[in-house]
Amino acid sequence: MRICTLTIALLCLAVVGLKVADDPGTQVALFANNFLDQLDADQKSTVSMPYESEQRVDWHFIPKKTRKGLMLRNMNSAQRVAALRMLRSALSEAGYGKASKIMMLESVLRELEGEGRTWERDHTKYYVTIFGTPGETGTWGLSFEGHHLSMNFSFRDGALVDSTPQFFAANPATIMNDVSGPLGKGTRVLRDEEQLAFDLIASLQDSQRDSAIIDQDAPAEIRFAGEPQAKVEAPLGITFRELSDNSKSLLTKLVNTYVDAVADPVAAQRRAQIEEDGWDDVHFAWAGATEPGIGHYYRVRGKRFLIEFVNTQADAAGNPANHIHCVWRDLSGDFDLQP
């Protein structure tokens, strides 16, 4: 099977390390301006919007016929590589690896769904939008979005000050069928997001599990999908302080799986914020089945962060509960805005 230029770029950039300063904002701006310099006038008018635009906080991960911004499909090879390098500079190696594989899963969906598919499945149908003027002064933003992927970054005076909503999804969660292309049978793009949570719920004693499980049925979807801010209530579930050392280690690893999707300095800021707020009152809550193949859901709630994960839908081949949605939200304000 011929591998297209974009697929090669996705795979290569996933393993390319970038030198990141104390804050990656300057580097992302550099790559953003390099990307903009390669566009023609029509492309620039499509990719560029004012920072104050309502479109900046209009995010979603569902399949859509069109979105804000400039689609990778409407770029030449050099422009696509520049766009992906810009995204790579804002993410960690692990985060970019997940993003690139999620895009390639569109080709898997296209193959599994065949001619009867309802939606176009195309790994070039991802959109780049730049809000404001990238640079070391003022505010600007970056959105990279398409089906099952929404990355949103806000910059102020050269610093990357917010990196949420951060949304990843995978269908199939585990590829259970023989498929062509670089993602083969057994690929599990969001493995740690699911497996660590299964390990954590299994590690709990009966009384702890009673505290952690908030519903016998998993919800159909994460809460606040597409909303600019997560409007949370009092946290539910079991607290970090109530866990055994082993369970604490598992919960810490689970949270860090989400934390570490972004560039290392930003991930370090996230970890420092959690440490400042304290781990003791971080809550872990579960709903649904505690085994694979049946709908399940969890959330992790800290003072200033929210993680949600749901796996209830069948995959494109009909395998039950094999379709993950998961998100990291900033409860002090997504998009660098007050909640």
Q: What is the pLDDT of residue 1?
A: 38
The beta-strand segments (E) located in 171-289 are 213-215, 238-239, 283-288
Beta-carbon-side half-sphere exposure of residue 152 (alpha carbons within 13 Å): 28
Q: What is the pLDDT of residue 27?
A: 95
- Residues of the chain under the 50 pLDDT cut: 1-2, 15, 20
CA distances from 105 to 4, 20, 189, 227 (A): 14, 29, 9, 25
Q: What is the pLDDT of residue 2?
A: 41
Q: Which one, of 324, 258, 296, 298, lies nearest residue 61 by Cα?
A: 324
Could you read off the pLDDT of 67-103 as tens digits, one per residue? 999 999 999 999 999 999 999 999 999 999 999 999 9
Q: Which two tokens stand for residue 278?
A: 């304290």
Q: Which one, of 27, 266, 263, lies nearest residue 134 by Cα?
A: 27
- Tell me the C-alpha distance between 73 and 21, whole Å: 31
- Tell me the C-alpha distance between 5 and 68, whole Å: 24
**CB-CB contact of 77 with 137 (8 Å):** no
CA distances from 151 to 96, 101, 110 (A): 10, 14, 23
Q: What is the pLDDT of residue 227?
A: 98
292 preceded by cis ω (within 30°)?
A: no
- Angle (CA) 270-274-275 rounded to 5° is 115
Q: Which one, of 171, 282, 270, 273, lies nearest residue 237 by Cα?
A: 282
Phi and psi dihedrals of 39, rounded to 5?
Answer: -90, 150
Name the 3-class secondary structure at 331: coil
Q: What is the pLDDT of residue 4?
A: 59
Query: How many residues in total does the chain contain?
Result: 339
Helix pair 264-277, 245-259: axis angle to 10 deg? 140
Q: Which two tokens stand for residue 6?
A: 């974009």
Under DSSP, the state recorded for 207 is H
Helix pair 25-37, 77-90: axis angle to 10 deg? 170
Q: What is the pLDDT of residue 118?
A: 85
Q: What is the pLDDT of residue 83?
A: 98
**Start-to-end CA span in the chain (Å):** 48
Question: Cβ neighbours of residue 268 under 8 Å, at least 6 residues apart?
Answer: none
